[in-house]
Structure 1
Amino acid sequence: MSEVRTGEGLHALVTGGGRGIGAAICRTLTTAGYRVTALGRSVGPLDELVRAGVAQGWVTADVADEAALQTALAQAAARFGPIAILVNNAGAAHSAPFARTTGDDFRRMLEINLMGPVTASRAVLPAMIEGGFGRIVNVASTAALKGYAYVSAYAAAKHALLGLTRSLALETAKTGVTVNAVCPGFTDTDLIGDSVARIVAKSGRTAEDARAEFTRVNPQGRLIAPEEVATAVLYLCGAGAASVTGTTLVVAGGEVG
């Protein structure tokens, strides 16, 4: 296995890279010296990242669209070289009581949160194995480790992503490729902001009270900062984590041990 140092100009691709946790990961990896491609569905946020120097390039695709995702990954590799670091960050959540969660809801959650990482990993693994080095980091959730009410489809998909992580890590253990997961708790992103707004609109509660629904499960009593998740991802991408594979790194203020 070749020696590879953090920040050596390796090509890193971050799905869901346009905002929130994904944008923080792009910024952190760029600062560390990686050549970062951000992948997302909307051109505007991606272009802003590049103009701000947060990423070096971007490609667009819906991770639930297998053909489009494969094309975007091929475009990224053609522009910036083989993808040595893959961060499967793109995800979506569906909230509803189980009785009102349809089969289509479950399939959609699986397509985005599981099959997106499956497609991306299949696309990049051959070059990683041939080069003797690679890092795949799946951004899962504390919902991959425990249950939450009213998000059964999301929790099931994130549990599946964690199973994929552990199995793929064993298959690639002797190749120089590591596969790990980062499991954030509730994180201070637009997604939480939108959820707070919906709670306020439906219940008439204050935004402070609605926000407390998300902070109360964290023993530290706060939301996780996107940069904290990005720092965990950076560690798993580096040479110092060469023996760390099949691992779940929880960033949740003590919510999950």
Structure 2
Amino acid sequence: MEKIAVIGGSRGIGNAIVLQQLENKQVYNISRNTPDISHPNLIHYKADVLVDALPEIESIDALIYCPGSINLKPILSLSTDDFRNDFEINVIGAEKTIQHYLPALKKGTDPSIVLFSTVAVKLGMPYHASIAAAKGAVEGLVKSLGAELAPTIRINAIAPTITETTLSASILRNDRMKENMIERHPLKNYLKPPEVAQMADYLISKAAGSISGQIFQMDYGLVSFKI
């Protein structure tokens, strides 16, 4: 049975990934909160990736790092701590996790890593300075490690548009805001966590064996089209 470590699988996209993988894979979830899931294939470790020591796992076939932040403020309202905190959770947490589990990944079968970026890296968006800067660093990490870890370990990132999770609840807090968000996207929708989980599933699969160092936009046309 394949073994997958998911960081941040108690909520949102991470939770959707855990749910999708449980039926035929051993899933290790590492998060501050316990997921509301019970399954014989799920092992949960309670840990804050930025503070606590990460649990030891002998071998894994895939590592998916899901923690992120949505910190939207005008540049004059952003403090140095805002930039530092966003960088910590999005970049330092990923770096710490990858370094810790690299030996376990090297023991896995066709091992791969999936990180998360955002469409705001490629599409200039007001009030996104801190998060776009942090996720830009994530994309640089993917490119660099894709080269460094080849041919043993693949690494890719998903760059989603806004996704309906608790993290984005303030942005999608009523029907009018949801309708405005739908209209903003050329394909007239925004993401739900299971859609992103499906992309993660593909990227860790053997079907994606030729793909590494890539950033996959899931944007309902937001970045690519002007209609």
TM-score (norm 1): 0.81
- Match status 1:41 vs 2:27: no
Map of 1:214 onto structure 2 = 181
- Is the Cα–Cα contact under 8 Å of residues 26 and 55 in structure 1 kept in the other structure? no
- Match status 1:12 vs 2:14: no
Deviations 1:33-85 (A, max 9, x none): 22111221123xx2x22x2x3961111222332xx1xx2332xx1xxx41221
- Is the Cα–Cα contact under 8 Å of residues 144 and 161 in structure 1 kept in the other structure? no
User: Structure 1 pair 57/131, CA: closer, same or farther in 2 (3 Å)?
Assistant: closer
Post-superposition shift, 1:132? 6.1
Q: How does 1:68-107 map to 2 (within 5 A)?
A: 68=52, 71-74=53-56, 77=57, 81-107=58-84
User: Structure 1 pair 56/253, CA: closer, same or farther in 2 (3 Å)?
Assistant: same
Post-superposition shift, 1:213? 4.3
Post-superposition shift, 1:234? 0.4
Post-superposition shift, 1:154? 0.6
SS at match of 2:170: helix
- Is the Cα–Cα contact under 8 Å of residues 110 and 206 in structure 2 kept in the other structure? no
SS at match of 2:10: coil
Return the match for 1:172 from 122, 145, 149.
149
- Is the Cα–Cα contact under 8 Å of residues 63 and 90 in structure 1 kept in the other structure? no
Q: How does 1:59-74 map to 2 (within 5 A)?
A: 59-65=45-51, 68=52, 71-74=53-56
**Structure 1 unaligned blocks of 5 or more:** 1-8, 198-206
Q: How does 1:224-235 map to 2 (within 5 A)?
A: 224-235=191-202
What percent of counterpart residues are identical? Answer: 29
- Higher helix proportion, which one? 1
User: Structure 1 pair 212/94, CA: closer, same or farther in 2 (3 Å)?
Assistant: same
Q: How does 1:182-197 map to 2 (within 5 A)?
A: 182-197=158-173
What is the RMSD of the two structures over their aligned residues, measured on CA atoms?
Answer: 1.8
- Is the Cα–Cα contact under 8 Å of residues 219 and 255 in structure 1 kept in the other structure? yes
Return the match for 1:143 from 112, 115, 120.
120
SS at match of 2:63: strand
Q: Aligned letter for 2:209?
A: A
SS at match of 1:83: coil
- Matches of 2:190 and 2:2 in 1, distance apart? 31
Post-superposition shift, 1:15? 1.3
Return the match for 2:207 from 227, 236, 240.
240
Map of 1:251 onto structure 2 = 218
Map of 2:44 onto structure 1 = 58
Q: Aligned letter for 2:27?
A: V
Post-superposition shift, 1:212? 3.5
Return the match for 2:19 from 12, 24, 27.
27
Map of 1:127 onto structure 2 = 104
Q: Aligned letter for 2:216?
A: L
TM-score (norm 2): 0.91
- Is the Cα–Cα contact under 8 Å of residues 186 and 192 in structure 1 kept in the other structure? yes
